[in-house]
Amino acid sequence: MTGRPDPSRALLADGARVINVGLESFATDLEARGVPVVHVAWRPPAGGDDASARRLAALQDASTAAAIQAANAAVLDTITGAHPVLVDCRPAREAMGLEERVVLHAGPPLPWDRACPTMQAAVLCAIRYEGWAGDDAAARDLVERGAVALAPCHSRGAVGPMTGLITASMPVFVVENRAAGTRAYATINEGLGAVLRFGANDERVIRRLGWLAAEAGPMLGAALRAGEGIDLRAMMSQALRMGDEMHQRNIAASALLTRQLMPALARAGRDTAALARLAEFIGGNDQFFLNLAMAAGKASTDPGLHHAGSTLVVTMARNGTEFGIRVAGLGDRWLTAPVNTPRGLYFAGYGPEDANPDIGDSAIVETIGLGGLAMAASPAVAGFVGAGGLHEAIAITEEMAEITVGEHPHFRIPNLDDRGAPVGIDVRRVVETGITPIINTGIADRRPGVGQIGAGTVRAPLACFEQALAELAATIGDRA
């Protein structure tokens, strides 16, 4: 016993470098004495909730924990090893076999009568756009009779921002995950103004959707099919270095995409006036890339579903009424809770009372380590959403690292000495710490069609994760 191994001797030889867990005054004292110290703002696991604490403890048992760790490592590899490539753009009926009289929407499954006014208005508009009904009353009748079915985008391999609507004739981008052979779909971002995703429902919206289907979509499709595909992973990692976090800010990614897309578009198109219209449309939309980032996220995370034993989150989405998550170890099951309303900065003349509850599939980008999780890469966004400056942005990413299990090998953040973005949200850590994922988001007006009135951040509701933990404890506990 006289030859004890090193760590305790090293402590006496080198002096203490302390992690302080508990009374903060100890940390303050140590700091004043010049002792290096990091204080942990400790709170009881699961906020002192006994049921959750018991479930956490059950999953901490050595052999169970090791199995979970292995499963999570596999899912993390799947997500971070994904290689999304943009390969095509064609109507949803062709690309994803979407039937007539089906309207896909954002978020978890949503009965019509529980949909928020913005979502309802958008659905009616989409039905009129497809020509399934001539006016809102007839459209409403179709939905209420069940003659038009509602389904989540996620259930059909797709994702959509805000209301997220997709119907058969809308052109969708096709993103292929070459690492797993899966595909995911997202519509073309409509730009600003009166748009379907904010629940606008008038002729201008339908005119623009018509143009996207008749002119923009086919041109984009032709250009993409003529090439080898556009490597979205490389593009996103570059854009991250240019200050985008790919949720609230996509200006660099949009520019990079445009740079690569334009020669192909010019080669594929003969109608120069049409080409000019499309170039103008893409160039005028700073968020053009958002839908592609989302499709890339969907293509990257879908292969992680149905991975028994894993506690990692693979989907986060909101439908304006509920926030839903899906967890690798729980398959298709949605765990839902009422959505929170975003907090942030409002455009002049608007305030929190005008805000629509949180909505959209865009939180998929947070599940792959972008958006709020990569806030440190994008101080401009932190300022824009009212979260402060660079220090606050870094603080947000550091906080998210508390609830994730890995760092993204491709998405690196210059402001953090090129460390990878935190990725792989672990249900256990969320419940243990009470830190819920932060999502960067646009804020929509609660009145349909008014559009974006601000930008901010929103927290995923803890209840989703508590339910997920309960289900995980039940399933994993059963197998053990």
Residues that bind another protein (CB under 8 A): 1-2, 4-23, 25-26, 29-36, 38-45, 388-389, 391-392, 394-396, 398-399, 401-402, 429, 432-433, 435
Nearer to another protein, 29 or 99 (CB): 29
Nearer to another protein, 35 or 262 (CB): 35
Nearest residue to 372 (alpha-carbon basis) of 409, 413, 338: 413
Assign 326 to helix, strand or coil.
Answer: strand
In the complex, minimum distance from the CB of residue 376 to another protein, in angstroms, rounded to a whole number = 10
CA torsion angle 181 290 312 97 (round to 10): -40
Nearer to another protein, 15 or 338 (CB): 15
Neighbours of 76 (CB within 10 A): 22
In the complex, minimum distance from the CB of residue 76 to another protein, in angstroms, rounded to a whole number = 16
CA distance 159 to 156: 9
Nearer to another protein, 167 or 311 (CB): 311
Nearer to another protein, 7 or 111 (CB): 7
Characterize 324-361 residue by residue with b for buried, 16 or more Cβ atoms within 10 angstroms of its Cβ, and e for exposed: bbbbbbbeeebbbbebbebbbebeeebeeebbbbbbbb
CA distance 438 to 328: 20
**Gyration radius from the chain CA atoms:** 23
Instruction: Look up residue 452 and give its two tokens.
Output: 């974006």
CA distance 102 to 127: 9
DSSP code, position 422:
E
Instruction: Look up residue 281 and give its two tokens.
Output: 């449309």
CA distance 425 to 335: 15
DSSP E strand stretches across 114-170: 149-152, 158-159
Nearer to another protein, 3 or 131 (CB): 3
In the complex, minimum distance from the CB of residue 417 to another protein, in angstroms, rounded to a whole number = 13
Nearer to another protein, 15 or 210 (CB): 15
In the complex, minimum distance from the CB of residue 43 to another protein, in angstroms, rounded to a whole number = 7
456 strand-pairing partners: 344, 441
CA distance 398 to 405: 13
Nearer to another protein, 66 or 147 (CB): 66
158 strand-pairing partners: 185
In the complex, minimum distance from the CB of residue 36 to another protein, in angstroms, rounded to a whole number = 7
Nearer to another protein, 31 or 471 (CB): 31
In the complex, minimum distance from the CB of residue 17 to another protein, in angstroms, rounded to a whole number = 5
In the complex, minimum distance from the CB of residue 342 to another protein, in angstroms, rounded to a whole number = 16
CA distance 283 to 406: 35
CA distance 169 to 92: 6
CA distance 185 to 87: 11
In the complex, minimum distance from the CB of residue 374 to another protein, in angstroms, rounded to a whole number = 15
Nearer to another protein, 65 or 192 (CB): 65
In the complex, minimum distance from the CB of residue 382 to another protein, in angstroms, rounded to a whole number = 9
In the complex, minimum distance from the CB of residue 268 to another protein, in angstroms, rounded to a whole number = 39
